[in-house]
Structure 1
Amino acid sequence: MKPVQLSQPGGSRTPVRCIIVDDEQLGRINLRLALEPHTNWQVVRECAHAAAARQALSEQTVDVIFLDIRMPGDSGLQLARELLAATTQGLDNKLPLIIFVTTFEQHAIEAFEIHALDYLLKPIADERLHTALLRAEAMLEQQQQSALARSFRQYLIDEEPAQASQSYWQQIYIPAPGKIDTLQVSDVLWLESAGNYVQLHLAQRTALFRITISKLQQHLNPTDFIRIHRRYLVSRSQILSLLTEPSLSLRLRCGAALPVSQSYLQDLKAALHNN
């Protein structure tokens, strides 16, 4: 199949410097050959393991890492955690964009799709690679590596047990095609569970974030948000009145009315009393 060129006719772009990290030599070769028609992309190093990738990253600036997840020794995800830890010590430093290249099971890939820039399944289809490269170029052009680092950090925190000592989130970072959408937690009126996602309701729009509502609640300041139902969290500033007919529900200042569960009723009544 003939690869599609990324560059616009007559256009010029800053070269994208990338490294390939894969313990399988054939995998590295196949990806390098697939990238060759995309002349704006420069493969500056090929690494067979995480240690070689660390060395490469210490020696040169890299924009994108094509990272295999399953490798002997340190996995690709372990390497990503290290890069993130180094970056989040000072978020002005830019985390290279991470594109996972994997044969990982589909249900696990879905999590990476939200929090890494992208993923590619082996064998890599030309069209799928083209889409991933376009997304990476868009992110680089908008200088959104730091926002992506914050988004990826939220995923890593979600994978680990919540700690009471950690600070509560002030922003939520939601990847979208070619950008990271930054939401202020203070702008969220109420939240609704949607399986493994949470729908965030703001004054003018809604946004979907991949996390369970119980996990997200652990990262929100309890003085700002209250649970009123297994499916709903509400900003305390939105609490207006408790309705008992035709069923138990909470009227919000924004006009919404949400169901209230008996198990959360006592806490809600206390919140109403303090308002």
Structure 2
Amino acid sequence: MPVRYLIVDDEEPGRTNLRLALADHPDWQLVAECDSAAGARTALADSDIDVVFLDIRMPGESGLVLARELARLQAPPLIVFVTAFSVHAVDAFEVHALDYLLKPVDDARLAQAVERAAALLARRQREAYGAALRDYTDPDADRLPQHLHVRSVGRIDRVAVADILWIESAGNYVELHLAGRTVLHRITLNRLEALLDPAAFLRVHRGAIVRRGEIATLASSGDGSWRLTLRGGAVVPVSERYLAPLKAALHAG
């Protein structure tokens, strides 16, 4: 069955460019184009929509107002947010595993968004997606996140920040170490650190962040390097630049 999609953008060139780019994906069927959130509500009420390409900044009601309404549905359509925000302002999308396109839309990035959306629909993940969308559109969403929504191929898993014991860098990903399992999440360690409560987490190495309550013992290896042992037994390297705050945390604990 084709993927039925809706384009919502107040600027006609934006709608046209996106429609022409999506024409390269024959399994995707355009249902309607709208220039406002009000028009989108009508289209959504009249038709079964799988995916909404939603501009965030629109006069009158923003795209986020419509997204917040759709988030109340148990199984909302998937939303691909279209935004002119800089890359530094899209951390929230990545934390909640929501897809987005930066203007001007890149064809390769659009193809990636199409593939991700199709995979979620094939795995019937609209309810899991709905939970991620509700967390993102929560009126208190600007506060530090309480959950991370981790996207793998065709799936979204919800991880409570309170369950994270320590975090390890893996290039453009991080490994979230939980009790008994490790989860790979697509966000850099530096960007994730900015979203964590410093009262709960401490950077101890350029490649590692630990939960303060998990800190057990600190030891020198004799060659000038240091290692930290956590209560669960994990051993984490410690950089010289983070040694002083770590010692202070140990003393306070």
Residue 76 of structure 1 corresponds to 63
Q: Distance in 1 between matches of 2:252 and 2:102?
A: 50
**8 Å Cα contact 1:120/1:129 also seen in 2:** no
The amino acid across from 2:211 in the alignment is: V
Match of 1:174 among 116, 135, 150: 150
* Gap regions ≥5 residues in structure 1: 1-13, 88-92, 163-167
**What secondary structure, in the 3-state scheme, does the structure 2 residue paired with 1:42 have?**
strand
Aligned residues: 238
**Post-superposition offset of 1:67:** 1.2
Q: Distance in 1 between matches of 2:24 and 2:202?
A: 53
The amino acid across from 2:110 in the alignment is: L
Residue 76 of structure 2 corresponds to 95
**8 Å Cα contact 1:18/1:62 also seen in 2:** yes
The yes-or-no answer on 1:111 pairing with 2:107 is no
Q: Distance in 2 between matches of 1:32 and 1:184?
A: 37
Q: Distance in 2 between matches of 1:51 and 1:116?
A: 23
Match of 2:126 among 116, 124, 145: 145
Q: Distance in 2 between matches of 1:117 and 1:129?
A: 10
**What secondary structure, in the 3-state scheme, does the structure 1 residue paired with 2:196 have?**
helix
The yes-or-no answer on 1:207 pairing with 2:194 is no
Structure 1 length as normaliser, TM-score?
0.65
**Post-superposition offset of 1:49:** 0.6
Q: Distance in 1 between matches of 2:85 and 2:159?
A: 30
Residue 48 of structure 1 corresponds to 35
Return the index of the structure with the highest Cα Rg: 1
Q: Distance in 2 between matches of 1:156 and 1:199?
A: 26
Residue 6 of structure 1 corresponds to none
Residue 190 of structure 1 corresponds to 166
Q: CA RMSD in A?
A: 4.0
Q: Which residues of 2 match residues 1-275 of structure 1 at below 5 A?
A: 14-36=1-23, 38-84=25-71, 86-87=72-73, 93-102=74-83, 104-108=84-88, 110-111=90-91, 114=94, 115-119=97-101, 121-122=103-104, 125=107, 127-156=108-137, 160-161=142-143, 169=146, 172-183=148-159, 188-191=164-167, 199-202=175-178, 205=182, 207-208=184-185, 210=187, 212-213=192-193, 215-217=195-197, 227=202, 232-234=209-211, 236=213, 238-243=214-219, 250-252=228-230, 253-257=232-236, 259=238, 268=250
Structure 2 length as normaliser, TM-score?
0.70
Q: Distance in 1 between matches of 2:18 and 2:52?
A: 12
Change beyond 3 A, Cα 1:112–1:25: farther
**8 Å Cα contact 1:191/1:232 also seen in 2:** yes
**Post-superposition offset of 1:98:** 1.2
Q: Distance in 1 between matches of 2:91 and 2:218?
A: 37
Change beyond 3 A, Cα 1:75–1:226: closer
**Post-superposition offset of 1:36:** 3.9
Change beyond 3 A, Cα 1:35–1:226: closer
CA displacement 1:126-155 (0-9 Å, x = unmatched): x44333222211110011223233334444
Q: Distance in 2 between matches of 1:182 and 1:161?
A: 17
**What secondary structure, in the 3-state scheme, does the structure 1 residue paired with 2:48 have?**
coil
Q: Distance in 1 between matches of 2:15 and 2:194?
A: 40
Change beyond 3 A, Cα 1:123–1:262: closer
Q: Distance in 2 between matches of 1:51 and 1:161?
A: 29
**Post-superposition offset of 1:65:** 0.2
CA displacement 1:191-237 (0-9 Å, x = unmatched): 3589x98652345545346454364338xxx8xx665869733274x
The amino acid across from 2:43 in the alignment is: A
**8 Å Cα contact 2:227/2:235 also seen in 1:** no
The amino acid across from 1:16 in the alignment is: V
